[in-house]
């Protein structure tokens, strides 16, 4: 599979941009499920946008999601040192490095901005990590991606009760944990909390880790740099409210919102983040 992903990522990113631009000009993207979900999400998180602004933001986000596949293919076929050459700026890198040097455990919370694999590749180049892993349906690809993420020194556990148990165990042993916190959890594993002004079913894992272990937490995401093929990584400290049981969930979502708002088009809005509405509320993805 490495040969395939190497070939797909040898093609210049600028060429991907041209192909995507030509595709958007056809208007066919408007019939895709990914674009429809993106459009619905932008309407939710930007209720003050005009119709023109919603359409423009949705189109830009859809295009950036397509472009980020190049970043993923690159991450799946290159060493970390090569992958890191795509990253020009790391904002607040000292936050991560200080906690790594302290060797007292750390939770690194990622959100789905652009390629999560490129972000994870960079994190894994800084320190060994223990992470949760959502199984890919295609077995060959699943095995390949898991091998890439582990890279002989990292540990991955499937997202499950047993996997979460391993995460807690590793954190208590002062290891670095890497988890995503912006996806809809399985029923029974989340709570309804405000997210962009709307009640959203939200994972409780990160707040539980923070409140139970009192280990440090940082949030991070990947962002594009304007008029450039280079990328940046933005690292944000957790607010003190994340360690307060009554405030932790809202605090987590607020930090996630802050990261997303840095550049709206970089977030993967094709994901149905609000697909589990509260009882009595309509499904925003059903017309």
pLDDT tens track, the chain, 287 positions: 899 999 999 999 999 999 999 999 999 999 999 999 999 999 999 999 999 999 999 999 999 999 999 999 999 999 999 999 999 999 999 999 999 999 999 999 999 999 999 999 999 999 999 999 888 999 999 999 999 999 889 999 998 899 999 999 999 999 999 999 999 998 888 999 999 999 999 999 999 999 999 999 999 999 999 878 899 999 999 999 999 999 999 999 999 999 999 999 999 999 999 999 999 899 999 87
Residue 69 domain-assigned (yes or no): no
Residue 133 lies in a domain: yes
Enter the pTM of the model: 0.94
Residue 277 domain-assigned? no
Strand residue runs (E) in the chain: 87-91, 106-110, 130-133, 155-158, 176-180, 190-195, 198-203, 217-224, 231-237
Residue 51 placed within a domain:
no
With a CB cutoff of 8 Å and minimum separation 6, the contacts of 192 are 199, 200, 201, 202, 278
Both tokens of residue 163?
Answer: 């996997």
- Inside any domain, residue 117: yes
Instruction: Report the distance separating Cα 88 and Cα 233, nearest Å.
Output: 8
282 occurs within a structural domain: no
- The 3-state DSSP class for residue 33 equals helix
63's tokens? 């295009």
Instruction: Give me the domain span that covers residue 210.
Output: 83-266
Residue in the block written with tokens 């280079």: 230
Q: Tell whether 40 is covered by a domain.
A: no
Tell me the pairing of strands 190-195 and 198-203.
antiparallel
Instruction: State the total domains in the chain.
Output: 1
Q: Is residue 204 part of a domain?
A: yes
């Amino acid at each position: 599979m490495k040969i395939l992903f190497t070939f797909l990522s040898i093609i210049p990113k600028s060429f991907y941009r041209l192909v995507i631009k030509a595709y958007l000009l056809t208007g066919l993207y408007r019939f895709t499920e990914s674009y429809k979900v993106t459009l619905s999400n932008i309407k939710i998180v930007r209720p003050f946008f005009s119709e023109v602004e919603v359409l423009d933001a949705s189109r830009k986000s859809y295009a950036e999601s397509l472009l980020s596949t190049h970043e993923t293919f690159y991450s799946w076929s290159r060493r970390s040192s090569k992958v890191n050459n795509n990253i020009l700026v790391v904002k607040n890198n000292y936050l991560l490095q200080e906690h790594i040097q302290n060797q007292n455990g750390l939770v690194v919370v990622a959100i789905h901005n652009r390629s999560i694999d490129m972000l994870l590749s960079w994190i894994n180049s800084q320190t060994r990590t223990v992470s949760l892993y959502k199984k890919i349906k295609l077995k060959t690809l699943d095995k390949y991606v898991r091998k890439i993420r582990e890279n002989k020194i990292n540990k991955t556990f499937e997202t499950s009760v047993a996997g979460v148990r391993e995460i807690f165990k590793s954190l208590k042993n002062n290891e670095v944990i890497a988890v995503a916190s912006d996806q809809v959890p399985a029923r029974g594993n989340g709570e309804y909390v405000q997210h962009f002004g709307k009640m959203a079913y939200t994972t409780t894992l990160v707040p539980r880790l923070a409140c139970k272990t009192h280990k440090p937490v940082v949030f991070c995401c990947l962002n594009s740099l304007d008029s450039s093929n280079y990328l940046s990584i933005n690292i944000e400290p957790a607010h003190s409210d994340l360690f307060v049981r009554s405030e932790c969930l809202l605090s987590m979502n607020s930090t996630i919102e802050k990261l997303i708002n840095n550049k709206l088009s970089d977030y993967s809005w094709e994901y149905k983040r609000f697909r589990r509405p509260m009882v009595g509320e309509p499904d925003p993805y059903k017309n």
